[in-house]
Structure 1
Amino acid sequence: MINVLCKEGKLKKAKGMLAMMECFGVKPNIVTYNTLVQGYSLRGRIEGARMVIKEMKSKGFKPDLQTYNPILSWMCSEGRASEVLKEMKELGLVPDSVSYNILIRGCSNKGDLETAFAYRDEMMKKGFAPTFYTYNTLIHGLFMENKIEAAEMLIKEIREKGIALDAVTYNILINGYCQHGDAKKAFALHDEMMTDGIEPTLFTYTSLIYVLCRRRKMREADELFENVVGKGMKPDLVMYNALIDGHCSTGNMDRAFLLLKEVDKMRIDPDDVTYNCLMRGLCGEGKFEEARELMGEMKRRGIKPDHISYNTLISGYSKKGDTKQAFMVRDEMLSLGFNPTLLTYNALLKSLSKNQDGRVTEELLMEMKSEGITPNDSTYCSVVEAMSNLEQDAEKSDN
């Protein structure tokens, strides 16, 4: 019962259940306490976990690795693993395979692959063989840091050890190549996966559809989508968003909106990503008012526009040269607590360069400076263009 309550996040009730057990003379064991520690740790309530450890010690139970590994997991994500490792050492607890995998995952997620591999090597020296989880974590980390060759070397190492790749490994590799735009290697791995008798998952197909859309191969993407549906799989929002974005990027807005209708028909709730893609597509076709109306629909459906939504509209109006509307959207963005980004300022400056408003241009540059945003080449180009236009106008007036 305590385990169920902890999984549901009802920690107060779980603690109350422990007290009730003791009232009825049922003595908790170390598993009971470890379950509570895990419950608190999973939700980042480390002080609560430490209170449970303190209580278990007072009852004569010595914390073990099952006690500390959940705490290590959370603290690792916070960059504070050394605190827990020190505490474990003081208690005479030596990290096990689970501990090392936690440390490797934490370092990989933070991009510290050097330390992650150092833990892998230490793990092996201590007699713990790396598991699929170990390798998958490292491969994912390498792809995240754009270290493709190193990831391929690790795969070679795995194969040389006679270890067959599992579905998770294939999906990490396929997604990694897709994220880097290498459709050829991604599809080759898909074929190899099938040959090995491993059935591709929805995640596999979503990755492949993503790379096809990214390469603007929309016919192939649509065909693969139909293949997924034909297999009896239910596409999720991530897959639909990839297709919607692809069709918006290639100017096929009719198909994009048909997919939105399909999303609704499937009773899948669209999100800000869905609408941002559609808004960007409409702005790309110069349909700024339709994009603005779409933002209204987005709000009516309870989907909050984000800074990307506002920047999309601002960029659209700026390209049109409608400075007034661009600044109105910027003001709405500010009123909702969104801070302008470099993209926001560059779009506004571009609009001002067309309208030759030097005073507002200078004010905007000062505002950027006060916000701590560093101008880039695009910023300077817009400013130079604005000032050049002003000088030309001044010369014409003098003549």
Structure 2
Amino acid sequence: MRNLRLFNIRSSAFVLRRSLHASPAADFPSEGPTAVDPPTLERLINNFCASGRLDEALSVFRRHVEGGAFRFRRGSCDGLLSGLAGDGRTEEAWILYAEMFRARIPSTVATFNVMIDVLCREGKMKKARGFVRQMEASGLHPTVATYNTLIRGYCSCGNLEEALEIMGAMNPDVHTYETMVIGFCKEGKLGEAAEQVKAMELAGFAPNVETYRALIDGHCENGELEAAFQWRDEMVQRGVGLAVSIYNPLVHVLFMRGRSGDADCLVEEMRGVGMDPDEVTYNILINGYCRGGNIEKAFDIYNEMHLKGIHPSQVTHTSLVYGLCKRGRVSEADNLFWKVAVEGFVPDIAMYNTLIDGHCVDGNMERAFEILGEMEGRKVKADGVTFNILMQGLCRLGRAEEVRKLLEEMKKRGVEPDHTSYNTLISAYSRRGEKKDLLKLREEMLGKCYNPTLLTYKALMEGLYKTKDGVRVDEVLSKLIDRGITPDAGMYLSSMEEIGDRE
């Protein structure tokens, strides 16, 4: 008997070793003296999962679950379920969960937590709460991890009230507070985020780098640079390790405020503490200098990026194309665009729109439309921004009828015109003083539930002023005020001049 037991142990070990080095799981024995015992099979599946070989782990599970001859133990497939969910293969995770249910493999807290997390990531919060109730009905108790998952789900959906309600019914840990801080920052509620930090500290938890990153990002998004730097300084005082991702939003906001010198100093400070810029940092620097008109400095950083072995992205090249176009160097932008396309980059819609805009501003509508054709040839679909850019280019040249045709073409392609589209066309007709078309367009806008903006009314008034229709000018001005929009000085002046002409 002892020899038989020893033989089974050795044969199981042999199967496990062979399985880890062989790809096909179909060779694994399932019967006879070399059958794999449950612990060995579970280790085998877990080892496959740990090495990222999820398909082989699935194959092993299905081979041995078929027919019900092999009974998996509680929790034996949790690693596989978690692996599929973590790899973004959520549909397969649901299929596996159903297979586990049919095979009568009892669910554990971990099983439920994985599936609750999947539902929360998909924004299906009602179903996630239903799974918690199902978990409790199975005699299992939700853990802090379960509640934290729900809180993260509600915060991702912007439903902070539900998140706070769950938080109030549990014993929060550091991850709970961190999630709430991130949630409040994401919604721009920075005062509430700061309150959560205080509550975190009162509960005996110290804010970590993720907490501070959320706070700094939140204040940078709001343009509150001083507050963002205060949180950064607090990190330093408390000895919380700084990261490149802490510096990046600060550098970005400095550029947005036109403080490129301070942005450079901050990057040098970052280097001084042993942190090299990453791809995001380089893109911020290149974009900042391109928008500031310093295209030479942007290309210097672009070259440094190459030397450091950091590959430029579409974001990088789009910034450079924009910078060249802004300086009127549209032919160079064209050359760069096609150079990177030949090198294997697939330009996206943002990059195409940037180049089309450059040619439109340059007055080269023929080339702009050529690029539109090339873009569609590469299966990149024109969006509302593309059409608006082209319409504005035509409008600058006074080609109102072509603007109207483009608007109709836009509709045919299933791209819905927006405020910018209508404002551009109204402006085109306004320049020609075509009263009938102006008023018709205004009604079309209202019919589509687009409330005319200040720019709409300004264009209408300019067009009507050209037709010497003082009554209509006064009517437009009155409607503008009725809608709660404050006219600018030029609009009042147009109205006064029309009154003077009538007198």
Which whole-Å deviations, capped at 9, do the CAs of 1:328-358 have from their partners, x for residues lacking one?
2122112222222222222222222322222
Contact 2:244 2:270 in 1 (8 A): no
1:363 paired to 2:475: yes
Q: 1:25 Cα deviation (Å)?
A: 4.2
Match of 2:310 in 1: 198
Aligned match of 2:175: 66
- Decide which of 289, 313, 324 is 2:401's aligned counterpart: 289
Corresponding position of 2:151: 37
User: Hey, what's the Cα distance between the residues in 2 that align with 1:185 and 1:341?
Assistant: 39
- Within the candidate set 445, 448, 456, 1:333 is matched to 445
State the SS of the aligned residue for 2:158. coil
Q: Contact (CA 8 Å) 1:181, 1:211: kept in 2 or not? A: yes
Say whether 1:214 aligns with 2:326.
yes
Q: Whole-Å Cα distance in 2 between the matches of residues 373 and 149 of structure 1?
A: 39
**Partner of residue 428, structure 2:** 316
Farther off after superposition, 204-213 or 90-99: 90-99
* Cα separation, 2, equivalents of 1:244 and 1:308: 17
Alpha-carbon contact 1:356-1:387 (below 8 Å) kept = no
Alignment of 1:230 with 2:339, yes or no, is no
The Cα shift of 1:381 comes to 5.1
CA contact (8 A) 1:186 1:208 kept: yes
1:6 alignment counterpart: 120
Amino acid at match of 1:194: H
Q: What percent of counterpart residues are identical?
A: 46
Contact preservation (8 Å) 1:213, 1:221 = yes
Work out the CA distance in 2 between the residues paired with 1:21 and 1:365: 63
- 1:151 maps to what in 2? 263
Shift of 1:285: 2.8
Residue pair 1:2, 1:14 contacting (<8 A) in 2 also: yes
Q: Deviations over 1:133-181 (max 9, x none)?
A: 1100211222233333322221222233342211110011111222333
Is residue 263 from structure 1 mapped to residue 375 from structure 2 by the alignment? yes
Return the match for 2:222 from 77, 89, 110. 110
Superposed displacement of residue 54, structure 1: 4.1
Q: In the alignment, is the contact (CA less than 8 A) between 2:136 and 2:142 conserved in 1?
A: yes
Match of 2:413 among 301, 313, 319: 301
State how far apart, in whole Å, the 2-side matches of 1:324 and 1:182 are.
46
Aligned length: 386
**Equivalent runs, 1:11-22 vs 2, <5 Å:** 11-22=125-136
After TM superposition, give the deviation of residue 312 of structure 1 in Å. 0.3
Tell me how far apart the structure 1 counterparts of residues 293 and 493 of structure 2 sit (CA, whole Å). 30
User: Which one of the candidate residues 225, 229, 235 is aligned to 1:123?
Assistant: 235
Alignment pair present for 1:241 and 2:353: yes
Q: CA deviation at 1:269?
A: 2.6
Contact 2:426/2:438 (8 A) holds in 1: yes
- Cα distance in structure 2, aligned partners of 1:292 and 1:365: 25
Gaps of 5+ in 1: 395-399
Q: Alpha-carbon deviation of 1:236?
A: 0.6
CA distances 1:116-140 after superposition (whole Å, capped 9, x unpaired): 1111111111111321111002112
* SS of match in other structure, 1:206: helix
Instruction: Determine the C-alpha separation between the residues in 2 that align with 1:253 and 1:188.
Output: 31
Which residue number in structure 1 is paired with residue 199 of structure 2?
Answer: 87
Judge conservation of contact 1:352–1:386 (CA < 8 Å) in 2: no
Question: How high is the TM-score relative to the length of structure 1?
Answer: 0.89
Structure 1 stretch displaced more, 171-180 or 84-93? 84-93
Alignment of 1:179-198 (within 5 A): 179-198=291-310
- Indicate whether 1:47 and 2:157 are aligned: no
Q: CA offsets per residue over residues 178-212 of structure 1, 9 Å max, x none?
A: 23333222112111111222111111001111122
Instruction: Report the structure number with the largest CA radius of gyration.
Output: 2
Calculate the aligned-residue CA RMSD, in Å.
2.2
Give, in angstroms, the shift of residue 262 of structure 1. Answer: 2.5
Shift of 1:86: 4.1
Deviation at 1:95, TM superposition (A): 1.8
Taking the aligned partners of 2:120 and 2:309, their CA distance within structure 1 comes to 38
Normalised to the residue count of structure 2, the TM-score between the two structures is 0.72
In structure 2, distance between residues paired with 1:376 and 1:339: 18
Cα distance in 2 between the residues matched to 1:327 and 1:146? 41
Does 320-329 or 4-13 show the bigger shift? Answer: 4-13
